[in-house]
């Protein structure tokens, strides 16, 4: 798996286009995120796989990350139970979290592959937001 594809979380969220990751190249964004309450120690985030599901926006280890580790699948779309309730969208946070894209992104990766998905994920995020 190439480095860029490795930045796609098991759930389908592309950490490679997340501001918590991209702030590595943008000191102003880093300062903005710190002002919003993120700890300097977690920035820039290295992506779900490298932080073992301990996403800075979550208070605990991601249950989807734990599930994929337990089931020994690299991505949710590889699981026999895909899509499952763990991928259910969060209507109350739809305006601020990209998590409603999990099923769409995962289905896209299953269809075109992870590396090809990374070529279009920023366009998908722009449409969503």
What pLDDT, in 10s, does the model give residues 27-85? Answer: 999 999 999 999 999 999 999 999 999 999 888 999 999 999 999 999 999 999 999 98
Q: What is residue 25's DSSP assignment?
A: G
- What is the chain's mean pLDDT, rounded? 92
Domain containing 122 equals: 3-128
CB-based burial label for 73 (10 Å; 0-12, 13-18, 19+) = middle
Give the global pTM: 0.86
Look-up: residue for tokens 């599901």? Answer: 53
Task: Give the pLDDT confidence score for residue 94 in this predicted structure.
Answer: 67
Q: What is the pLDDT of residues 61-77, one digit of tens each?
A: 999 999 999 999 999 99
Domain count, the chain: 1
Band of residue 128 on the pLDDT scale cut at 50, 70, 90: confident
Measured distance CA(31)–CA(35) in Å, rounded: 6
């Amino acid at each position: 798996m190439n480095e860029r594809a490795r930045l796609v979380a098991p759930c389908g969220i592309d950490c490679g286009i997340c501001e918590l990751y991209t702030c590595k190249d943008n000191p102003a964004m880093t300062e903005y995120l710190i002002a919003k309450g993120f700890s300097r120690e977690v920035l820039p985030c290295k992506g779900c796989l490298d932080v073992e599901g301990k996403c800075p926006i979550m208070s605990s280890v991601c249950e989807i990350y734990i599930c994929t580790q337990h089931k020994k699948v690299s991505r949710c779309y590889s699981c026999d139970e895909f899509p499952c309730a763990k991928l259910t969208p969060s209507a109350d946070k739809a305006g601020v979290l990209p998590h409603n894209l999990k099923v769409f992104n995962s289905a896209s990766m299953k269809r075109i592959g992870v590396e090809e998905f990374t070529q279009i994920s920023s366009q998908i995020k722009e449409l969503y937001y």
